[in-house]
């Protein structure tokens, strides 16, 4: 076997990673990075019926589910520009508030507005459809609630009455 054939075989063997999700990796620091690492440990194996898969590069700040286009999660993203608009709404999905933003390709990017670190999930059009179905976020809610505490005063437990 020639040297070229060996190199070609190695390249073919590595091509599986070429179809891996490649979300831009955020760079949180300090407490935000620690919260993102805690969230990463809590993330489910399935979201919206789609199996989790490795991202490229592998990072504690990103995750993905499904076959392209993927559901992508990024933790520790900068404050989204939509939060500068006072009309931005938040939707509560299983105890976690998300601010959705429809993207030009039909996908929906949802970001947690009231937590000490921003968690962003992009749901592709094939998941949300034309109606904007964000129910896949239900599968992420328990992990977000457990790992990233809410800063929303509305999420505080009701005071006990004597």
CATH number for the domain harbouring residue 47: 3.40.1000
What is the rounded distance in angstroms from the CA atom of residue 31 to the CA atom of residue 121? 20
Residue 26, in any domain of the structure:
no
Residue 84, in any domain of the structure:
yes
Which pLDDT does position 155 carry in this prediction? 64
Angle between helices 138-147 and 30-42 (to 10 degrees): 130
Residue 157, in any domain of the structure:
no
Which pLDDT does position 156 carry in this prediction? 52
Which pLDDT does position 18 carry in this prediction? 56
Residue 159, in any domain of the structure:
no
Rg of the Cα atoms in the chain: 18
Residue-averaged pLDDT of the chain: 85
Residue 38, in any domain of the structure:
yes
For 128, 140, 161, the CA distances from 112, given in Å and listed in that order, are 18, 12, 31
Residue 57, in any domain of the structure:
yes
Q: Is the Cβ–Cβ distance between 63 and 45 less than 8 Å?
A: no
Residue 158, in any domain of the structure:
no
Q: What is the pTM of this model?
A: 0.82
Average pLDDT over residues 91-107: 95
The parent domain of residue 77 ranges over 32-152
Domain count, the chain: 1
For residue 84, the SS3 value is helix
C-alpha closest to that of 148 among 100, 123, 113, 122:
113
Residue 20, in any domain of the structure:
no
């Amino acid at each position: 076997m020639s040297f070229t054939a060996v190199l070609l075989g190695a390249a073919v063997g590595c091509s599986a990673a070429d179809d891996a999700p490649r979300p831009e990796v955020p760079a949180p620091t300090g407490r935000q990075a620690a919260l993102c690492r805690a969230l990463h440990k809590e993330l489910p194996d399935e979201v919206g019926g789609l199996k989790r898969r490795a991202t490229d590069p592998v990072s504690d700040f990103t995750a993905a589910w499904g076959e392209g286009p993927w559901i992508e999660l990024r933790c520790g993203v900068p404050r989204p520009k939509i939060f500068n608009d006072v009309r931005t709404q938040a939707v509560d999905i299983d105890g976690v508030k998300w601010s959705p933003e429809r993207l030009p390709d039909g996908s929906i990017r949802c970001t947690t507005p009231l937590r000490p670190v921003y968690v962003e999930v992009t749901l592709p059009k094939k998941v949300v459809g034309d109606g904007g179905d964000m129910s896949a976020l239900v599968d992420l809610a328990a992990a977000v609630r457990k790992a990233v505490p809410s800063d929303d005063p509305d999420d505080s437990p009701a005071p006990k009455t004597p």
